[in-house]
Structure formats: C-alpha cells, structure tokens
Amino acid sequence: MFLDEKSIEVRSGKGGDGICSFHREKFVPLGGPDGGDGGRGGHVILQVNEQYSTLLDMGNARLYKARPGQAGGAKRCTGRSAEDLIVDVPKGTIVKDAEGRILADLTEDGQRWIAARGGKGGMGNQHFATPSNQAPRKCTPGEAGEKRELFLELKLMADVGLVGFPNAGKSSLVNKISSGRPKVGDYPFTTLEPVLGIVQMNGHSFVVADIPGLLEGASEGKGLGHQFLKHIERTHTLLFVIDGFAENAYEQFTVLKGELAAFHPKLAKKPYVIALNKSDLGIEEAIKQFAEHKEKVIITSAFTGEGCMELRDALDQAVPHVQKKKVGWETRKVEAPVKKAAAKTAAKAERKAAAKPASKTASKTTKAPAKKAPAKKPAAKKSK
C-alpha cells in the first residue's frame, strides 16, 4: 500500500523549572542561594530515513510528543535536558503548516529538521541575588514547549518519470528494464499507486517512477490526476509510453504533453524520451504519425523485449551523470568516514613534524662535548 499524505501533531517538551535553594552545611548556617536551572525540553525532529519509501512506514501514530526537561537541583545543579524525539520520514517529504505554507523540503538522506523546539529551562534563585537582596526566593518555571499541526506530503525522488494513458504498457516496461515489480494486468488502471524501479547500468544506476495511468483532464484533478502528477515534478527526464496499437497514437502524446503543461509549466520543459510500445501487435501507422511530426521514438515491446536495451541506453544518456549514484552508495557511505579519518591522521602527523624545531633534530645527530676529567690533587708531603 502507498501513502503520500499524512497529518500529524508535534509537541516539544516543556523546560524544567528552576528551583529556590540555599547553601546549607555544617558551620555555614546562612549560605547564599544555590538553586539550579531547569533542563531543556526535548525537540521533535523529522529525519529522512533511506529505508522508508512511503509515509505508511511511519505507522499509525498521529501525535509525536517529546519529554520535558528535569527541574534544577541544589548546589547549582542544572536539571538534565530531555532527549530529542526523532521521527523518521521518507526521502522527498514536504512539510507544510496548517495554512499550506511549505516549512521544509526533506530531500537528502539523513537530513534533519526541527519541527518543534523544546522549551528552555527556568532559572534558579542563584541568578537573582543582588547586593541589597542576598537571599532571593525568586525562581522561574521552564518555558512551555511548542505545539504544531503539520501536513506531510511525499513527492517521489526519481530520475525518470513514466507518463502514459492507462493500459499503455508502462508497468510491463518497468518490469523489463528495472528491478521494480509493479502489478501487471490486461486491463486499464492496473497500477493504482506509484512504483519505483532501479535500472542497473555499468557501474551506476538510475531510478524510474511508474505512476498510475493519466486521463485527459488529469491537470484539473480528473482520475486523481493531481495526486499522481506531483510525483513527476522532481524527476529529471520524462518517458512517454504510447500505445502504438491505438488509432490515435500521436494524439495520445500531444494530450499528455498538454496535461503536463497545464499542471505545471516546468513539466513541459523537461527532457523526454518516447517509447512506442506494443510493436508485436503491428504499429506501422503509429510510426508513420510520429515520423510526420519529426518526433524521434524508440520502438518497444514489453511482451517480446524488443527495444528494451535501446530504451535503457537512451534513458541513461538523458539522465545527468551526477544523478547516477545509487550503485555502490552503501560502500561509499561506509568508506567515506574511514578515508576522512585517515586523511586527518596524516595531516596531523605532517603538522607535528613541521612544528618540531630544527635545533631538536640537530641535537640528535651532533655528539655532546666530552666532559673534562677532574684535576688531580697534589700529593701530600711525607713528614720526616
């Protein structure tokens, strides 16, 4: 099941109270104020979890509440600050407030955003001593935590977005060219939710997103068009999958482009590749239509596999190389800290070597001057 919208409530922790206390020990009956400050309340932090693919992975919880900070103690002891509450979200999550304003766009692995800040701890009476008031009994409570209603919206992070009408064969093509396994059937609207697939190339890979089939009028919300079109906003390249066996193959292409432009003008400016699918059924008329309009197409058949390798290569060339980083990512993630640590150690050794004075080095090679032998005492004269 796929979930791309979710409302949550976040509450940060209250700050701990400052206390009123006085120093008391043997032989010090009238010690000064020593009330400690309260600890900070816990933050609520949203963090990208690379293992999450949908908001459904967050579970059914709607309220996320952090713990309060501890109160201060005697002898100027500060109360313990509460631990922050980490809420994992999938990559590509947009955070909005109740009015629909975008507060954060979480697009990087491990990225964090503080959704609600914990309250500051209150002050103990040690802060209120003055020359005229040596025994203040004033202390302050901790600040209240924040409370917010947030709306989470997931937009898939993919390099290539598949666009086409229902039953054009998009899901079958995804099965052929990638590791994605969307549901496939011989009827419209087989795909009811977006599916991601990884296309493995030589030493790198890229991600394709198969979204449910669009209808004419999708830009106006027909057929849940808005919910599906938003998932291709972040893609770099579009793959138009056209049913070549249909009578109006080229018209399908123009309608799809028009729907994208109506939904968001930037979608119409994205680079694209056209796959004229179902070549095994005979699509000569469709090929002629695209040739008349000078549109380059790749003839494919998800049933026989014809043209699938050519399609993979075309998409690979269309996607910028800077985005092809999925293969070996886990290895680089582990190796990077090791390499950094080794580089830091080497640099530290170089700085130590450069900081050593030359005189110390020279003193090791030169011989120390020989000590003088003590002078002999004159022999005493013998008495007769």
State the average pLDDT over residues 233-242: 90
- 28 vs 219, more confident: 28
- Closest to 173 measured CA to CA, from 120, 210, 131, 136: 210
Percent of the chain with pLDDT over 70: 75
Percent of the chain with pLDDT over 90: 43
- Closest to 145 measured CA to CA, from 64, 72, 78: 64
pTM over 0.85: no
**Cα separation of the two ends of the chain:** 125
The Cα 214–Cα 240 span in angstroms is 11
Q: What is the CA radius of gyration of the chain?
A: 35
Domains of the chain: 1-154 (2.70.210.12), 160-323 (3.40.50.300)
SS3 298: strand
Task: With a cut of 80, say whether residue 163 has pLDDT above it.
Answer: yes
Task: With a cut of 80, say whether residue 226 has pLDDT above it.
Answer: no
Note the pLDDT of residue 260.
86
The Cα 287–Cα 242 span in angstroms is 11
Task: With a cut of 60, say whether residue 215 has pLDDT above it.
Answer: no
Centre a 10 Å sphere on the Cβ of residue 222 and count the other Cβ atoms it contains: 13
SS3 176: helix
Backbone angles phi, psi at 74, to 5 degrees: -70, 170
pLDDT band at 72 (very low <50, low <70, confident <90, very high): very high
Note the pLDDT of residue 297.
92
Please, is 358 exposed, middle or buried when counting C-beta atoms within 10 Å of its C-beta (0-12, 13-18, 19+)?
A: exposed
Q: What is the pLDDT of residues 274-327, one digit of tens each?
A: 999 998 888 889 999 999 999 999 999 988 889 999 999 999 999 886 444 443
Q: What is the pLDDT of residues 165-212, one digit of tens each?
A: 887 788 888 888 886 554 444 434 344 567 788 888 877 888 888 877
Residue whose tokens read 């914990």: 118
State the average pLDDT over residues 114-140: 95
Q: What is the pLDDT of residues 13-68, one digit of tens each?
A: 999 999 999 998 888 877 899 999 999 999 999 999 989 988 988 999 999 999 99
Task: With a cut of 60, say whether residue 220 has pLDDT above it.
Answer: no
pLDDT band at 146 (very low <50, low <70, confident <90, very high): very high
